Amino acid sequence: MQLSRALRGRQSRGWATRGLAALCLAALPALAGVLPEDRADLLYHRYQGGGITVQGPSILVQKRIGDHFAVNANYYQDMISSASIDVLLSASPYKETRTQKSVGAQYLHGKTTYSAGFIDSVEPDYKANTSYYSVSQDMFGDLTTVTLSYSRGWDQISRDIKVNGAIVNDPMFHQRADHRVYGLSISQILTRSLIGTLDYQFSSDQGYLASPYREIRYVDPNNPVGYSLAPQIYPGTRTMDAFSGSLKYYLPYRAALTGKYRFFSDSWGIVAHTLQVDYVQPVRHHWTLDGNIRYYRQGAASFFSDLFPYANYSNYMARDRELAAFHSITFGFEASYAFSIPRLTWIQKSTATLRFDRMMISYLDYHDALYSKFDPGAIKAGQEPLYSLDASIYQAYFSLWF
């Protein structure tokens, strides 16, 4: 038996998770005391970069039931294909499909909104279930909104292998991971044109937190390429803190300018900073344009190395590029057009939206090992060029309010 492919999870699954999170947040009320509107969204998304393509549809429906209840449901699918640097280094390209379903509900009682939901995600070698809860309260004349949130996740991790030409789950590999996230958010109307928000999030992970496919490399003089590969070894626990703040200013000509900052740190030694500026401008009666720029920078995990000096160098070892030091910049543009549908009087409003994001990532301590793998005589291991990637993210969605 042999491993059939390398990359799983964080890079490909990361964009899918962000997309789902955006849809779930859209289903929740923006402020306590207000239930979400009756709405349906149909989305198509595509991520392409670094040898990875993730694409698929999503459908979100949310509906009020009387004056105090609202429900929502979401179906989300990713079709993933990968020939990334991780895959080409140690295994073969792969394709798979991930399907995710979620349901949620909100209950409005006075100025308090209670929310709860459940997310089920299934792919061939990874199953994840997540429940989430929140309570929001308006106070001080509805100028302040305080939100407490909690989510709990249970993951079941398996590993695909190739047996007699067929891809099957390894019967000897079964792992679990648990995730808990606690959140506190305060939104404050500061003036008639300015809104501020402060957020704090504490996360705790426990269990199998590595990837069964990714591998480290270590110096091996007996190997013609100068190194050999070995499985990653991660700690069994991880805690994370994230602080963020934003200011949204409404300009006199119907536009809005938003600035955001986020600080992140964890028990693995990673420290990260995010800066983002967003500008929204309505144009006449039908168009709304949105442009944003985002800068992100992080340091490496304490047990990360691009090339370890020898096998079994330390208790924990990783060469996952998401644990490396890197910085990225993302430019985004969105155009939305509002229109009516003749003869369908039950539809109050409809919009069609196109969005494009361009992300450029530069790694500071993660090298392109393919140079030494395919041409070992020209360059030594550990002296390859630093790796970088550009990615494009496309979204097209159609929304109906009824």
In degrees, rounded to 5, the angle at the alpha carbon of residue 111 between the alpha carbons of residues 109 and 113 is 60
Q: Minimal CA–CA distance to 318: which of 306, 330, 334?
A: 306
How many C-alpha atoms does 160 have within 13 Å on its Cβ side? 20
Q: Which residues contact 387 (CB under 8 A, 6 or more apart)?
A: 85, 321, 363, 366, 367, 368
- Token representation of residue 33: 């005391």
Query: Would you say residue 198 has pLDDT above 70?
Result: yes
Mean pLDDT of 1-27: 38
The domains found in the chain, sorted by start residue, are: 104-401 (2.40.170.20)
**Per-residue confidence (pLDDT) for residue 6, from 0 to 100:** 31
Query: Would you say residue 12 has pLDDT above 90?
Result: no
What is d(CA 365, CA 378) in angstroms, rounded to the nearest whole number? 20
What backbone phi and psi angles, to 5 degrees, belong to 240? -140, 140
**Per-residue confidence (pLDDT) for residue 29, from 0 to 100:** 44
Q: How far is C-alpha 281 from the chain's CA centre?
A: 26
Q: Minimal CA–CA distance to 355: which of 309, 399, 291?
A: 291
Q: Which of 32-36, 118-122, 248-252 has the lowest mean pLDDT?
A: 32-36
What DSSP designation does 170 have?
-
Higher-pLDDT residue of 119 and 371 is: 119
**Per-residue confidence (pLDDT) for residue 353, from 0 to 100:** 98
Mean pLDDT of 307-315: 95
What is d(CA 364, CA 163) in angstroms, rounded to the nearest whole number? 38
Q: What is the mean pLDDT of the chain?
A: 90
| Full-model pTM | 0.88
Q: Return the amino acid letter for 139.
A: M
Query: Would you say residue 16 has pLDDT above 50?
Result: no
Q: Minimal CA–CA distance to 86: which of 173, 12, 157?
A: 12
Per-residue pLDDT tens digits for 101-152: 999 999 999 999 999 999 999 999 999 999 999 999 999 988 999 999 999 9
Mean pLDDT of 183-203: 97
Q: Minimal CA–CA distance to 303: which of 221, 235, 247?
A: 235
What is d(CA 363, CA 390) in angstroms, rounded to the nearest whole number? 12
Mean pLDDT of 247-256: 94
**Alpha carbon distances (Å) from 112 to 35, 105, 185, 373, 393:** 10, 14, 14, 59, 37
Higher-pLDDT residue of 159 and 264 is: 264
Q: Minimal CA–CA distance to 209: which of 164, 240, 255, 167?
A: 240
Count Cβ atoms below 10 Å from residue 312 Cβ, excluding itself: 10
Per-residue pLDDT tens digits for 374-398: 887 788 999 999 999 999 999 999 9
Query: Would you say residue 325 has pLDDT above 60?
Result: yes
Mean pLDDT of 37-55: 95
User: Residue 358 forms beta bridges with which residues?
Assistant: 331, 392
Q: What is the CA radius of gyration of the chain?
A: 23
**Per-residue confidence (pLDDT) for residue 15, from 0 to 100:** 37
- 32 pLDDT band, cuts 50/70/90, is low
Spatial strand order of the sheet with 160-163 comes to: 2-3, 160-163, 166-169
- 26 pLDDT band, cuts 50/70/90, is very low
Residue 13, H or E segment: helix 10-27
Per-residue pLDDT tens digits for 335-356: 999 998 888 888 989 999 999 9
Query: Would you say residue 10 has pLDDT above 70?
Result: no
- Token representation of residue 324: 């490396």
Per-residue pLDDT tens digits for 94-106: 888 999 999 999 9
